[in-house]
Amino acid sequence: QVQLVESGGGLVQAGGSLRLSCAASGHTFSSYSTGWFRQAPGKERKFVAAITWRGDNTNYADFVKGRFTISRDNSKNTVYLQMNNLLPEDTAVYYCAATMAPFDLRVQDEREYDYWGQGTQVTVSS
């Protein structure tokens, strides 16, 4: 019922920046929280950041805190992930996901999310 389309990935040198976008369509007027996850080749998918429907609360993984910023613009049905000071270990496929669950520590668990985007590749060169 909800479709998520990600964009903004690409190739960037270490220390550079990228801004990912996640545009939602379908049943977008229901309240939901949105998270970003990433998966590197051969590794498990890991939580990156999440934001409430109203944008009044956020949560970040320790390894991106201070470098990445999640935000949303509900007038555009879009969630953003601003990534600064990128490192080679940030290289991964980045996914956005949406959940109707309450915003608590479970937002870090991918099993709590109902809808997923197709992913966008981020590659950081050294």
Would the pLDDT of 102 be above 90?
no
E-state strands within the chain: 2-7, 10-13, 18-26, 33-39, 46-51, 58-60, 68-73, 78-83, 92-99, 115-116, 120-125
Tokens representing 59 are: 């949560």
**Which residue would you say has higher pLDDT here, 2 or 46?**
46
The one-letter amino acid at 34: T
Predicted confidence (pLDDT) per residue in 44-80, tens digit: 999 999 999 889 999 999 999 999 999 999 889 999 9
